[in-house]
Amino acid sequence: MILHRRDLEALALRILLSLATPTEIDAEPFAMTVEAADDATEGSHGFLVKLASRPPSDIGVRVSVSTTEEYFAASVAFAAKAIADAFQLEVIESLGGAARPSCEGHAHPMQAAADQHGAWWECPRDSSRCRRIWPLTHD
């Protein structure tokens, strides 16, 4: 199984849009890139996912996605969580410290979580309150 760069770009964009509105993304502006990484191990594809904003910052996270059917879904889920963690820090800092993504009824942001089946944003106080990150579905 192969996760193509464009698929990871779609996932990273979905994560970014869960943290900031399109207007905020354009106003900041945030620039996102997904590049193939040369340091992948056998049986996986490596990527470097970056989010940059003004003033110049360059937050990047390296993720590795398994090419074997047995580990593919879990590796994508944990890659999604790693991207969400990195993007969340950059967006919160760039947008003045506001809780992102907002946790309805609470002042704190939701936090990224993952298991072998998927990735999601969840309330740190009540894990039953969550929003899906991956697998990509139509919400």
The edge-to-edge listing of strands for the beta sheet with 44-52 is 31-37, 44-52, 59-66
**Separation CA 29–CA 22 (nearest Å):** 10
Mean predicted confidence (pLDDT) in 92-99: 88
139: pLDDT strictly greater than 50: no
The model's pTM is 0.90
Pick the CATH number of 5-98 from 3.40.50, 3.30.160, 3.40.720, 2.60.120: 3.30.160
The single-letter DSSP state of residue 90 is H
pLDDT at 93: 86
C-alpha closest to that of 110 among 118, 119, 120, 121? 121
77: pLDDT strictly greater than 90: yes
Q: How confident is the model at residue 128 (pLDDT cuts 50, 70, 90)?
A: confident
Mean predicted confidence (pLDDT) in 64-86: 94
Mean predicted confidence (pLDDT) in 52-77: 85
Q: Cα separations (Å) of 94 from 5, 11, 76?
A: 26, 21, 27
